[in-house]
Structure 1
């Protein structure tokens, strides 16, 4: 495992962090045995950063992580979780949720505590609730060690938040398709120059960059002198950049853990040649031409009040375009429950208020319904 300095702190963390948002499932629930096995395997082989959050797996992720970190594993890692700031209505709620998370995680302290999914509106709300008084108090009494934030909004809002406090770290969405989206490359460099550690989430764009590529993309990858999988290309592109402290991968099986760890071992700053970087730019351009909706299937929009399966509809819409697979995708669309179809959208707009990608969901659902009907 390769290790990188964590911003201005005096320690290093593994280049690969274990994201606990996409555990394997069994009978609709987290497959506990397999998930614990995956986490412990990663730790045994050098991963020392474990990332979870209050809402992951419908509130069950933190409970699973607590089980995985028993038997001495807690002491081997930096543990990260996130404050569900959208639930905070008064100052005392910050402490309420932190204490609940400490209990769920069965630990006396959380190493890295993030204000979760900040955007401009949430940021204004948190300032009005004196969030920094809470942060200072929780650091002083030892319940958290370092404070940071994860982010989904524009670059100006990002810079404002970075400049507002002496943060230890931040977490941004970043991959070769999202280089100029939200905080993006500019935000990455800005935060790093200010001394913040920068953690990367969605390195595979919600798994989209891990799928078997369409023929035109595969032909581009095949021109490379060194053959790699789409996942390896995507991760190495991120690790190629010196401002990145670590990247998080939400792994769903042991094979993904092993593959990502092997890729991390081969990674490094400036490890890609100029020709390889140019190739990734060509792939990016072609993908942009084919993608209909920049959805990462994070499911923040779910459940829909009327039952529309928003991520599923967008997945079918994109697959039909990217893979020239309209016939099969239309068939799968027709097999959805009526209430789950894009055509059932009543345009209430609730989904758009919580979408971290700021997708015009109502408009895109109309287009998906028309294309897939």
Structure 2
């Protein structure tokens, strides 16, 4: 069993030693997938640079990106180069294994990542979005084990791991299939028994494999997406925890703090990745990282999570995290936007959900794209890490939010506005 020892250093951050490599990792990692971007999806490098430098100064030293994150590697690489900060951080990126058809593809994708990131080494390299043992075996047939050995030998890869989005029963098989340096799982208090889940965390911990956590806030759903009744419980818990009254304006920060505490309360968690896109988010998360320790939560506080999770489950109908892996849609439907609006219609009210739906569909523009435009090609569902049957769920969106006759009505309104 791996022994994870955390300690504080300076004013800001807690660290632990990754026992596989000896690296000293910050308890909080920076997930770059949700760096500030334009409406068209291009990364805002100037804003992202400020956030990355703030995170680095606060003691965060692990930055996670991927080949498939549009413009992400290039933006991170440019920021690192311009500020000469490569040796102050660990970089993680990922191989898009679903696109690998030959040994040459493995090499090509890796070299492209190196070029984009403007570096000669990847500290933590992951096989991206693995769902079963068969996918790893397919890579083995192409010689990936020999390739990893070569790359580790020449120093261009320091640690090899995988990010997992499959069912629990596949996770243990993957852990035993190779001498992994680490693994990355989706895990939060609302997903305790989803995908790898708590049992997967404990399996990896018992094998001495460091576990990095992604989606600790379920794509923000456990931050500003909680029903008021749920976040009220966290406000009460925070007041009891801190001994001082908590302002209602702190509702989101408090909800985030408790979601992160739930993770760091568990001994098997090596590091938590958070996709922070504001200075305030970084400051809040760093503060919580500094203060959190394993087994810190009381039985009363743990009971609060069970109550919050129950309210959350009753309100959220589609477990979309907004990762955008399903995009682009051949019919240009804003799938994450549709699902966010659908969930809002239950968390808040149906009118709010409908407004959000027509906005994300571009209903008042020249070329709107509605849930009803889905042709059920299934391309989106193949790429969904959550295993959502997207075409079926879009039908639910249409039935709940797209009232009969909405398309011609919105088209008429659009023309009248011109």
TM-score by length of 1: 0.95
Secondary structure of 2:375 counterpart: coil
Secondary structure of 2:330 counterpart: coil
Aligned partner of 1:289 in structure 2 is 314
Secondary structure of 1:146 counterpart: strand
Aligned partner of 2:60 in structure 1 is 47
Pick from 281, 291, 306 the counterpart of residue 266 of structure 1: 291
Q: Offset of 1:81 from its aligned partner? A: 0.7
Is there any run of 5+ residues in structure 1 with no aligned partner, and where? none
C-alpha separation in 1, matches of 2:395 and 2:316: 16
Aligned partner of 2:86 in structure 1 is 74
Q: Offset of 1:241 from its aligned partner? A: 0.8
RMSD between aligned alpha carbons?
1.6
Aligned partner of 2:387 in structure 1 is 358
Is there any run of 5+ residues in structure 2 with no aligned partner, and where? 1-12, 247-252, 403-418
Pick from 101, 120, 134 the counterpart of residue 108 of structure 1: 120
Alignment of 1:272-351 (within 5 A): 272-323=297-348, 325-335=349-359, 336-337=361-362, 340-351=369-380
Aligned partner of 2:181 in structure 1 is 168
Q: Offset of 1:7 from its aligned partner? A: 4.1
Alignment of 1:84-233 (within 5 A): 84-120=96-132, 122-211=135-224, 213-224=226-237, 225-226=240-241, 229-233=254-258
Based on CA coordinates, which of the two structures has the bigger radius of gyration? 2
C-alpha separation in 1, matches of 2:317 and 2:285: 28
8 Å Cα contact 1:36/1:67 also seen in 2: no
1:237-293 Cα deviation digits (max 9, x unpaired): 111111011011111111111111111111111122111111011101111111110
Secondary structure of 1:21 counterpart: helix
8 Å Cα contact 1:7/1:198 also seen in 2: no
8 Å Cα contact 1:342/1:368 also seen in 2: yes
Secondary structure of 1:209 counterpart: coil
Between the two proteins, the alignment pairs up a number of residues equal to 370
8 Å Cα contact 2:344/2:352 also seen in 1: no
TM-score by length of 2: 0.85
Aligned partner of 1:371 in structure 2 is 400
Q: Offset of 1:25 from its aligned partner? A: 2.5
C-alpha separation in 1, matches of 2:19 and 2:255: 29
C-alpha separation in 2, matches of 1:185 and 1:331: 37
Change (3 A) 1:27 1:208: closer
Q: Offset of 1:26 from its aligned partner? A: 4.4
